[in-house]
Amino acid sequence: MDKITLKVTRSGGKRASFEVRYRKGMTVLDALTEVREKQDSTLGYRHSCRMGICGSCGMTIEGLPRLACQTQVSSLETDSIRIEPLHNMSVVKDLVVDILPFFDHHRSVKPYLIRKDIKERDHSEREYKVLTEEVQKFLQFDYCIMCGLCYAACPTAALDPYYTGPQAIAQAYRYMADPRDEGWEKRVNLLDTSHGVWRCHMAGACSFVCPKDVDPAKAIQLARMEVLRSRVLGKKGKAGSKPVPPPGAPKEGVKPPPFDYGGAKK
Amino acid sequence: MAEPAKEKGGSLMKESWNMVVTYVTGALLVFVLTFHLLLHSPLMGVAFDSTLLFPNATGNLVDYQIVFGLLLIGAVIHGFNGIRVMVLEWLHPTRLAWLLNLIVFLLMAFFIAVGTVTLVVVG
Amino acid sequence: MKREKRFGAGLFSSLNPVGFNLERWSYTVHRATGVVMVGYLMAHIFETFQLTGGATAWANTMSALHSLGPMEMIGLWLVAGSALYHGGNGIRLILNEAFGMFMGKPILPVYPYSPTSLGRSQKVAVWTITVAVLALWVWAGLYLLAGLGVI
């Protein structure tokens, strides 16, 4: 194709068409940048790293939430591309959405390590030791870049603005599975609400659109099992999902030798 | 800026127990509903219309009263709880969630009552 | 507090699975079949209540239903399909949600990404249920609509 047409939904719901010359390897972000530079400098959209790590350029492209910098124009198999703001968020201008409620949901699950001993936390004399197999339990969910695509794809979030959301619940599980965290019960209580983990219905759209394979649907089901363990079985403590060991990892039961502090005070 | 809703005024039971009830009634319904449908299936050796005749219909209720009782309670609780969840998500009331829960509870009680009367009178 | 209008949110958007994954489609069908069944449940409870009025009341009820013509059996066939799908998919959801089955384990993401929660085991579960439900539904249709009494 020589030219592509971008049909962009702008502020007020109006649709504007822009024609851009196609170049091999062009991403949707490249096309939007060309529009802003050469045709309409008022076109509003967010972007930053242009390499799929910052999560700023999330928008709805051809009906699906995607990162514009990671979406090749050729992969869309059409020369007329529909671009809309991310769903389930209110619009600030053109393709820029108000992402603050999304961040509020994230903040609501206390996405940080909770330690009971504040003195030990603030003045610890050594690092917290975490074994490789323990890291594997939550590392996948740590790759979240908070792009908001999962929230935009979620059918429950489309209905309920108070729903915690797949990203926040996945992050809550990330900390529940972290052996350094002591806020397991607090998070169980935060998730066990009428707008919490139980409003997920396993549509899987969040994992389908996630650009970093964080697989929030899996995290949500694991979080759900933690809540059930707590409420039904009365168990308290760490998330117990056994991970898949990476290639070359030591066999289960073989622990690495204790860390040598080199004579430092233990 | 929208804020996540806090749980206002408490609730009769934690949402997790609500979901346990949904799972249990759902699993129960798979068995009792299958049984109910099989009573009207070719396995009975008669045409479908024949299974709806008065003697057959009442006979089933009499012979399998407990099964139909479980089916009634399971179906009403599972179904109306599902509708409650859908309406809760759609309307997401902050102050009037208790009213929605009350309406659903009353509807459940009403339909269970009607069904129970049928089972008792016919039985 | 004034609620800001969210772009692309709402009931239609929530139930519209076009372009999304297979599990999102099954979510929409699960919701629709659930609503159908609750509607039928309410009507069915009132219908069976007529048994308390004796054989005459029951016969009148059945006549009223038969007066719908072929719509009666078609309606029953649709309800049967709803029940089959909702029950089968419901079992899959209980296994997913309460027991974490078909979800896979936490892994190290490696490009090209393929979430394990939507992986092979999940797809096998969804398609197995769909195929089984369709087969039973066809059988129910032959029994109800064609009166063939096929086992």
Going through A22-84 in order, the beta strands assigned E by DSSP cover: 58-61, 64-67, 80-84
Nearest residue in chain A measured CA to CA from B89: A160
Q: What is the pLDDT of residue C150?
A: 46
Give the minimum alpha-carbon distance from A222 to chain C in angstroms, rounded to a whole number: 7
Distance from C-alpha of C82 to C-alpha of C77, rounded to nearest angstrom: 9
As a whole number, the mean pLDDT across chain A is: 89
Nearest residue in chain A measured CA to CA from B22: A198
Among C45, C55, C87, select the one facing B30 at the smallest CB separation: C87
Chain C residues closer than 8 Å to B115 by CB:
45, 48-49
Can you tell me the mean pLDDT for C2-13?
A: 84
CA angle B27, B97, C24 (to 5 degrees): 50
Predicted confidence (pLDDT) per residue in C111-137, tens digit: 889 999 999 999 999 999 999 999 999
- Check CB contact under 8 Å for A98 and B14: no
Nearest residue in chain A measured CA to CA from C114: A213
Tell how strand A64-67 and strand A80-84 pair up: unpaired
| Confidence class for position A62, pLDDT limits 50, 70, 90 | very high
Choose among A174, A166, A110, A114: nearest CA to A138. Answer: A174
What backbone torsions phi and psi does residue B82 show, to the nearest 5 degrees? -65, -45
Query: DSSP states of chain B as a string?
Result: ---PPPPPS--SS-HHHHHHHHHHHHHHHHHHHHHHHHTTSGGGSS-TGGGGSHHHHHHHHHHTHHHHHHHHHHHHHHHHHHHHHHHHHHH--SSSHHHHHHHHHHHHHHHHHHHHHHHHHH-
Distance from C-alpha of B69 to C-alpha of C2, rounded to nearest angstrom: 47
Task: Look up residue A136 and give its two tokens.
Answer: 């594997």
Give the minimum alpha-carbon distance from B67 to chain A in angstroms, rounded to a whole number: 26
User: String of b and e for B71-102 (b: at least 16 CB within 10 Å)?
Assistant: bbbbbbbbbbbbbbbbebbeebeeeebeeebe
Residue B94 confidence (pLDDT) above 90: no
Can you tell me the mean pLDDT for B26-43?
A: 90
Chain B residues closer than 8 Å to A109 by CB:
none
First to last CA, chain A: 66
Chain B residues closer than 8 Å to C147 by CB:
47-48
Chain C residues closer than 8 Å to A156 by CB:
14
| Confidence class for position A205, pLDDT limits 50, 70, 90 | very high
Distance from C-alpha of B64 to C-alpha of C127, rounded to nearest angstrom: 34
Q: What is the pLDDT of residue C148?
A: 56
Can you tell me the mean pLDDT for C2-15?
A: 86
Distance from C-alpha of A74 to C-alpha of A78, rounded to nearest angstrom: 8
Q: Which residue has the higher pLDDT, B53 or A62?
A: A62
Give the minimum alpha-carbon distance from C151 to chain B in angstroms, rounded to a whole number: 6
Is residue B113 within 8 angstroms of chain C, CB to CB? no
Distance from C-alpha of C30 to C-alpha of C87, rounded to nearest angstrom: 9
Whose structure tokens read 């363990």?
A229
| Confidence class for position A241, pLDDT limits 50, 70, 90 | very low
Q: What is the pLDDT of residue B14?
A: 80
Cβ contacts from B onto C, under 8 A: 85
pTM for the complete prediction?
A: 0.88
- Check CB contact under 8 Å for B117 and C49: yes
Give the minimum alpha-carbon distance from B99 to chain A in angstroms, rounded to a whole number: 14
| Confidence class for position A264, pLDDT limits 50, 70, 90 | very low
Give the minimum alpha-carbon distance from C73 to chain B in angstroms, rounded to a whole number: 10
Q: State the chains in contact with A (3 or more Cβ–Cβ pairs under 8 Å).
A: B, C
Helix (H, G, I), strand (E, B) or coil at A214: coil
Chain B residues closer than 8 Å to A192 by CB:
14-16
The H or E element that residue C43 is part of is helix C22-49
Can you tell me the mean pLDDT for A186-197?
A: 92
Q: What is the pLDDT of residue A119?
A: 84
Can you tell me the mean pLDDT for A20-41?
A: 96
Distance from C-alpha of B43 to C-alpha of A22, rounded to nearest angstrom: 65
User: String of b and e for A243-265 (b: at least 16 CB within 10 Å)?
Assistant: bebeeeeeeeeeeeeeeeeeeee
Helix (H, G, I), strand (E, B) or coil at A157: helix
Q: State the chains in contact with B (3 or more Cβ–Cβ pairs under 8 Å).
A: A, C
As a whole number, the mean pLDDT across chain C is: 90
Helix (H, G, I), strand (E, B) or coil at A89: strand
As a whole number, the mean pLDDT across chain B is: 86
Chain B residues closer than 8 Å to A232 by CB:
16, 20
Can you tell me the mean pLDDT for A238-245?
A: 50
Contacts of A60 (CB under 8 A, 6+ apart): A66, A82, A83, A84, A85, A86, A87, A152, C8
Nearest residue in chain B measured CA to CA from A227: B16
Report which DSSP code applies to A27.
Answer: B
Beta-bridge partners for A5: A19, A80
Can you tell me the mean pLDDT for A173-180?
A: 93
Residue B1 confidence (pLDDT) above 70: no
- Check CB contact under 8 Å for C150 and B42: yes
Q: What is the pLDDT of residue A251?
A: 57
Which of A51-55, A248-252, C60-64, C106-110 has the lowest average pLDDT? Answer: A248-252
- Picking from B6, B11, B16 by the largest number of A CB atoms within 10 A of its own CB, the best residue to mutate is B16
Q: What is the pLDDT of residue B39?
A: 86
| Confidence class for position A257, pLDDT limits 50, 70, 90 | low
